Amino acid sequence: LRGQAIPEISPSVPSVPFLSRANDLVGLAIQNNQSSRASAPITVSQIFALGALPNNMGLVARIRGSSVPVQVDVKATHPDGSVRMAVLTFAVPALGVGESIPVILAREQTPHEDIGDTFQAPKVTVDLNIHGGKQVHLDVASLIVQSAKTGRVSYWLRGPQVVETRLDVPIAGSLHVTFDVRRYADGDAVTDVEFKNDYAFQSTGGPMFYDVKIANGKDVPFTASNVEQPQYTQWHKKIVSGN
């Protein structure tokens, strides 16, 4: 489940449930392939057949006799306007190691909740010392607030269960840092920090030399000195925050 390393375990292959009701669309099985008991919202992509899910229709997940609300972020539609591909987020109960659970995704007329950008941002910061140049401090929480005020924030997911935003910050020459920040309602967050030296058609460019530190609150999960990054290259680190 979300943002954790996958150990080498061999759980049994789970069985997928059959569709049994008129509004049933997809049967799937969710399995905990981690080394400990886990419970969390999950985020998956799903393809739908032409006309199967109208764009104004919602989804629920039937799990162990209960209907769980599903956040639907539509990413592509069919010619008739129905959903072709969407990113789905919903909560699952705690699962033991190797345990699986059957899930049915079904159509349901559910109201769309747009909560905006209200989830707490992770305390991730990046410090850069550009050799022969400037020192840069980037605070993800502050950047999200500033971008939201100016209307320049870009959303990939936006709803009552998860919000994912993208921020891009120019640094020097052709170097810029992109943050993909996913925040869940339960307080967990995943921040993908990407260092990209790939701006084109700039007055300056070429390789960049710098020192870097990535902090997650009081923790410092990554530091590096004398980084040499050629132009038109990129690298990234994923930082998990929260529970």
The full DSSP string for 151-200 is: T--EEEEESSSEEEEEEEEEEETTEEEEEEEEEETTS-EEEEEEEEE---
CA nearest 78: which of 110, 55, 45? Answer: 55
Is pLDDT at 88 greater than 90 in this prediction?
yes
The pTM of the full predicted model, rounded to 2 decimals, is 0.80
Which pLDDT tens digit goes with each residue over 163-218?
999 999 999 999 999 999 999 888 889 999 999 999 887 777 789 999 999 999 99
Q: What is the pLDDT of residues 199-209, one digit of tens each?
A: 887 777 789 99
Lowest mean pLDDT among 2-6, 63-67, 160-164: 2-6
Tokens of 24: 């049933």
- For 110-141, the pLDDT digits (tens) are 766 665 566 788 999 999 999 998 999 999 99
Q: Which residue has the tokens 């209960």?
A: 66
- pLDDT for the residue numbered 12: 67
